């Protein structure tokens, strides 16, 4: 026959279960906050990258996918994050100078686009 537990015996069990659930909830909240911050940064970066892509499309002129590829190439050749390359390019609209390595690679990429269009 199964023995029933008394309320005094049940309390530590209930506390342990509640504590485990609370820990799981806290962990989930921390993970969700981190994800939320990451998505916020991604959205902000995306807007700047899209602005830079538009600038490249106006400079080249070229389609959106080719402008994207050019920005990625500049980023990789300069070993600078894409969002930082884009931010530097967009900052030129506020009279900020484009860093020399980015400027050099952007010129090279634009020349390649122009040569490809002539073929």
At 48-78, the pLDDT tens digits run: 999 999 999 998 889 999 999 999 999 999 9
- Is 52 in contact with 85 (CB distance < 8 Å)? yes
Count H helices and E strands in the chain, helices first. 4, 0
- CB atoms < 10 A from the CB of 35, how many? 10
State if pTM tops 0.85.
no
Q: Is the pLDDT of residue 24 over 90?
A: no
Q: Is the pLDDT of residue 2 over 60?
A: no
- Is 112 in contact with 106 (CB distance < 8 Å)? no
Domain residue limits, the chain? 9-118
| pLDDT at site 5 | 59
Two tokens, residue 12: 């530590």
- Is 109 in contact with 74 (CB distance < 8 Å)? yes
CA distance 61 to 18: 62
Closest CA to 89 of 76, 75, 77, 79: 75
């Amino acid at each position: 026959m199964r023995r029933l537990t008394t309320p005094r015996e049940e309390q530590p069990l209930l506390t342990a279960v509640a504590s485990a659930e609370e820990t799981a909830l806290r962990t989930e909240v921390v993970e969700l906050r981190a994800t939320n911050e990451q998505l916020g940064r991604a959205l902000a970066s995306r807007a700047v990258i899209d602005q830079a892509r538009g600038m490249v499309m106006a400079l080249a002129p070229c389609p959106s996918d080719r402008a994207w590829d050019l920005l990625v190439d500049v980023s990789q050749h300069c070993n600078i994050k894409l969002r930082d390359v884009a931010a530097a390019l967009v900052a030129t609209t506020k009279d900020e100078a484009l860093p020399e390595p980015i400027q050099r690679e952007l010129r090279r990429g634009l020349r390649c686009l122009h040569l490809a269009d002539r073929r």
